């Protein structure tokens, strides 16, 4: 009987024949926290009887959610994490390096690895074929201490992708469509595994966007196969030796198969206050917006900024719209500067924020006013998410976000991106 | 050890109560002051919840409770508010582990017939929920053994401190 990608990784790592529904204990290759989950992880770790980290070289701390710090309490949390990193000899990415998930993709994750992070969007690294999943602070503290954790081997939904995107339709539209189809709890406890002949045409930035949002359907992981695209990406980061091919067996068992023809998709928007509340962008024409936010672990990559820059080139933001752009990492910001995108954004009237989570989590840098409407490239639009329960958040692709920034209302970008 | 008999009043919520509704990101600066943070539990779902909830009371919700962030603070502030258990039709994966890891029982059952304010009695060992107000009885779904053991030790850290490792 064949195995899914999840079953292959968990079998290899646990040394058992891991099948859907089994419970396994497996070593963790990378474990990380960020600045809003790290302090509780440190507290839990200190309450354990373990004095030292099991794998200090594989334990990472990221400061990304609240950088630069907006207040004294969060500054003190940053101090605590810096001190912990120093005492335990583990690596800390200071504020300004970028969002944890982007840095994991740029520097750490490799196919076949197990990655556990104290952040729900840890699933992003599934785009690089890592079994990567989010857990809470206690679970992560125990991985700090033991270097391993328990997993229930998930059943898998196969998402079979065929065809080619229309112009101005992209990975975000696909994943919003999929979440709309599955529902916000449609894949709870499950693995999403992307396959089909369209996968070979999806770049790593696109795969990361899709994997990133697997959790919005409740999934434990969102996995892509490891193929030539993966190999080229790792080689471009001088990590080519980490490449291993990884595909599901042809006779793997799937709980559900969903077929999606990319050519049939159109620009999609998630409406307030649920990610599965999706509709075509064209059906929301006339919805006025106050703020557009382009960035985050979902859509803050160079690939995304390039699309936004193409639309915003020689144009101005609508006078009633504030456009906020936050590159997902320092490397992306530098590359975007070299490519001229940052200049394009500034000329269009955008505010550029430092690499980090920025306005996504409601801590700072773009909190919405009462009854304000934001169109964001992030992954969540829950009530209160961006700091104000009286505000409304719509989610869309960078193309839709940029097009809408120009018109001042939700706009299908197909007319603007040629 | 977690007590096996729970008695309290039901506070009813709907479907898809996100971690942002349980404890929003705008209070991230209070995460190292947990008693302060707990004053805001469920604030965006029901602003009067903190004033109403009495020690021992239960949160009763629809499907997909706790979706969203991995913030364990969501489970922690519910526990700090004195809530003895969460009953829901279904629960999001990360929240489920987090709650059990904090020793907060999360029980999956058909919550449709429980009304706001009903007096409930939960026997964790027997797997039964008695609705004392409507004089009815419900059963709840099986919890994986490893999670049950973690819950009975009062959370993951006490469990690991006792056993030194996971026992599946």
A227: CB partners within 8 A, 6+ apart = A199, A200, A245, A247
Domain ranges of chain A: 5-262, 268-415
Residue B42, pLDDT > 90, answer: yes
Query: Which of A48, A188, A389 lies at the smallest CB-CB distance from B160?
Result: A48
A371-393: average pLDDT: 98
| Rg value, chain A, Cα | 20
Model-level pTM?
A: 0.98
Helix (H) or strand (E) holding A206: helix A204-212
State the average pLDDT for chain B.
95
For residue A30, give the DSSP letter.
Answer: E
Residue A418, pLDDT > 90, answer: no
Query: Phi and psi (nearest 5°) for B121?
Result: -130, 120
pLDDT at B168: 86
Which of residues 285 through 304 in chain A touch B, CB cutoff 8 A? none
Residue B88, pLDDT > 70, answer: yes
- The pair of structure tokens assigned to A84 is 């912990």
In this complex, is the C-beta atom of A120 within 8 Å of any C-beta atom belonging to chain B?
Answer: yes
Residue B4, pLDDT > 90, answer: no
- The CATH superfamily label for domain A268-415 reads Aconitase, domain 3 (3.30.499.10)
Are the beta carbons of B31 and A385 separated by less than 8 Å?
A: no
Grade residue B142 by pLDDT with cuts at 50, 70 and 90.
Answer: confident
Grade residue A416 by pLDDT with cuts at 50, 70 and 90.
Answer: confident
Q: State percent of chain A over pLDDT 90.
A: 99
Grade residue B2 by pLDDT with cuts at 50, 70 and 90.
Answer: low
State the average pLDDT for chain A.
98
Are the beta carbons of A65 and B76 separated by less than 8 Å?
A: no
Grade residue A200 by pLDDT with cuts at 50, 70 and 90.
Answer: very high
Residue A290, pLDDT > 90, answer: yes
Interatomic CA distance for residues A219 and A222, integer angstroms: 7
Helix (H) or strand (E) holding B3: none
B140-156: average pLDDT: 93
Which of residues 67 through 126 in chain B touch A, CB cutoff 8 A? 67-73, 75-76, 90, 92-94, 97-98, 101-102
CB atoms within 10 A of CB A330: 18
Decide: A368 and A360 in contact? Cβ < 8 Å.
no
Which 3 state secondary structure label does DSSP give A411?
coil
A273 preceded by a cis bond (ω within 30 of 0): yes
Helix (H) or strand (E) holding A303: helix A302-312
- The pair of structure tokens assigned to A399 is 């193309």
Assigned CATH topology for domain A5-262: Aconitase; domain 3 (3.30.499)
| Rg value, chain B, Cα | 15
**Domain B5-163 bears CATH identifier 3.20.19.10:** yes
Helix (H) or strand (E) holding A395: strand A392-395
Give the residue ranges of DSSP H helices in B8-113.
19-22, 34-38, 49-52, 73-80, 93-101
Grade residue B105 by pLDDT with cuts at 50, 70 and 90.
Answer: very high
The pairing of beta strand B58-61 with beta strand B5-12: parallel
Residue A37, pLDDT > 60, answer: yes
Are the beta carbons of A146 and B165 separated by less than 8 Å?
A: yes
B116-130: average pLDDT: 95
Chain B residues touching A70 at Cβ < 8 A: 29
CA angle B76/B77/B79 to nearest 5° reads: 65
Interatomic CA distance for residues A194 and A103, integer angstroms: 23
Q: State percent of chain A over pLDDT 70.
A: 100
Which 3 state secondary structure label does DSSP give A123?
helix
Decide: B71 and A121 in contact? Cβ < 8 Å.
no
Are the beta carbons of B29 and A71 separated by less than 8 Å?
A: yes
- The pair of structure tokens assigned to A42 is 């440190």
Are the beta carbons of A362 and B24 separated by less than 8 Å?
A: yes
In chain B, the residue whose alpha carbon lies closest to the alpha carbon of A70 is B29
Interatomic CA distance for residues A30 and A7, integer angstroms: 19
B135-159: average pLDDT: 94
The pairing of beta strand B128-131 with beta strand B136-139: antiparallel
A79-88: average pLDDT: 98
As a 3-state breakdown, chain B gives helix, strand, coil percent values, each rounded to 5, of 30, 20, 50
* CA-to-CA separations, A70 to A63, A118, A363, in angstroms, rounded: 13, 21, 8
Decide: A109 and A100 in contact? Cβ < 8 Å.
no
pLDDT at B125: 87
**Mutation target vs B (from A47, A133, A148, A382; most B CBs, 10 A cutoff):** A382
B1-16: average pLDDT: 89
Domain ranges of chain B: 5-163
What A80-88 contacts at long range (C-beta under 8 Å, 24+ apart), as own/partner pairs, is: A80/A38, A80/A39, A80/A42, A80/B32, A81/A33, A81/A35, A81/A38, A81/A39, A81/A42, A84/A38, A84/A42, A85/A61, A88/A52, A88/A53, A88/A56, A88/A59
Backbone dihedral region for residue A75 (phi beyond 0: left; psi -120 to 50: alpha; all else: beta): alpha
Decide: A281 and A268 in contact? Cβ < 8 Å.
yes
Q: How far is the alpha carbon of A238 from chain B, nearest alpha carbon, in Å?
A: 32
Interatomic CA distance for residues A27 and A399, integer angstroms: 40
- The pair of structure tokens assigned to A215 is 């959790």
- The pair of structure tokens assigned to A153 is 């081997």
Q: Cα B93 from chain centroid?
A: 13
Decide: A240 and A251 in contact? Cβ < 8 Å.
no
Interatomic CA distance for residues B168 and B158, integer angstroms: 16
CA angle B91/B93/B96 to nearest 5° reads: 65
* CA-to-CA separations, A317 to A224, A308, A324, A350, A366, in angstroms, rounded: 36, 12, 11, 7, 16
Query: Phi and psi (nearest 5°) for A255?
Result: -75, -30
Backbone dihedral region for residue B57 (phi beyond 0: left; psi -120 to 50: alpha; all else: beta): beta
Are the beta carbons of B64 and A218 separated by less than 8 Å?
A: yes
Interatomic CA distance for residues A167 and B23, integer angstroms: 40
Residue B1, pLDDT > 60, answer: no
Are the beta carbons of A23 and B168 separated by less than 8 Å?
A: yes
Grade residue A275 by pLDDT with cuts at 50, 70 and 90.
Answer: very high
Are the beta carbons of A73 and B32 separated by less than 8 Å?
A: yes
């Amino acid at each position: 009987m064949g195995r899914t990608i999840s079953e292959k990784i968990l079998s290899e790592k646990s040394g058992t024949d891991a099948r859907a529904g089994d419970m396994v204990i497996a070593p963790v290759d990378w474990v990380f926290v960020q600045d809003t989950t790290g302090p509780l992880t440190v507290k839990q770790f200190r309450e354990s009887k373990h004095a030292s980290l099991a794998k200090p070289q594989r334990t990472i701390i990221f400061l990304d959610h609240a950088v630069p710090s907006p207040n004294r309490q969060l500054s003190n949390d940053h101090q605590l994490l810096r001190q912990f990193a120093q005492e335990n000899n583990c690596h800390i990415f200071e504020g300004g390096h970028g969002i944890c998930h982007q840095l994991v993709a740029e520097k750490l994750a490799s196919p076949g690895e197990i990655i556990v992070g104290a952040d729900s969007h840890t699933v992003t690294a599934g785009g690089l074929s890592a079994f990567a999943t989010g857990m809470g602070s206690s679970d992560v503290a125990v991985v700090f201490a033991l270097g391993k954790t328990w997993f229930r081997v998930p059943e898998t939904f196969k998402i079979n992708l065929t065809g080619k995107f229309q112009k101005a339709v992209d990975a975000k539209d696909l994943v919003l469509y999929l979440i709309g189809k599955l529902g916000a709890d449609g894949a709870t406890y499950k693995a999403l595994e992307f396959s089909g002949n369209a996968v070979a045409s999806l770049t790593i930035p696109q795969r990361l966007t899709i994997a990133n949002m697997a959790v919005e359907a409740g999934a434990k992981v969102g996995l892509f196969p490891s193929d030539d695209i993966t190999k080229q990406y790792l080689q471009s980061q001088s990590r080519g030796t980490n490449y291993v091919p990884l595909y599901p067996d042809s006779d793997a068992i799937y709980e559900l198969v969903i077929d999606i023809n990319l050519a049939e998709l159109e620009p999609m928007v998630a409406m307030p206050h649920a990610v599965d509340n999706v509709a075509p962008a064209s059906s929301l024409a006339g919805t006025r917006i106050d703020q557009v936010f382009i960035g985050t672990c979902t859509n803050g990559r160079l690939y995304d900024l390039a699309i936004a820059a193409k639309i915003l080139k020689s144009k101005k933001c609508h006078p009633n719209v504030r456009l906020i752009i936050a590159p997902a990492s320092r490397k992306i910001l530098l590359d975007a500067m070299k490519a001229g995108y940052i200049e394009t954004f500034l000329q269009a009237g955008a505010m550029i924020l430092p690499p980090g989570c920025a306005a996504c989590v409601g801590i700072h840098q773009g909190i919405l006013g009462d009854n304000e409407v934001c169109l964001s490239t992030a992954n969540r639009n829950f009530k209160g998410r961006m700091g104000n329960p009286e505000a409304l958040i719509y989610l869309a692709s960078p193309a839709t976000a940029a097009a809408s920034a120009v018109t001042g209302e939700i706009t299908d970008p197909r007319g603007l991106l040629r | 050890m977690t007590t096996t008999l729970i008695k309290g009043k039901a506070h009813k919520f709907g479907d898809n109560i996100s971690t942002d509704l349980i404890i929003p990101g705008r209070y991230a600066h209070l995460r190292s002051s947990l008693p302060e943070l707990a004053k805001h539990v469920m604030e965006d779902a029901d602003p009067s919840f903190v004033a109403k909830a009495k020690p021992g009371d239960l949160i009763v919700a629809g499907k997909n409770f706790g979706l969203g962030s991995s913030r364990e603070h969501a489970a922690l502030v519910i526990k700090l508010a004195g809530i003895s258990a969460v009953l829901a039709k279904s629960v999001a994966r990360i929240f489920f582990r987090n709650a059990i890891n904090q020793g907060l029982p999360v029980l999956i059952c058909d919550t449709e017939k429980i009304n706001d304010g009903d007096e409930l009695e939960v026997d964790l060992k027997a797997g039964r929920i008695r609705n004392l107000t409507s004089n009815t009885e419900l059963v709840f779904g099986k919890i994986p053994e490893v999670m049950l053991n973690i819950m009975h030790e009062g959370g993951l850290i006490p469990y690991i401190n006792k056993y030194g490792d996971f026992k599946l």
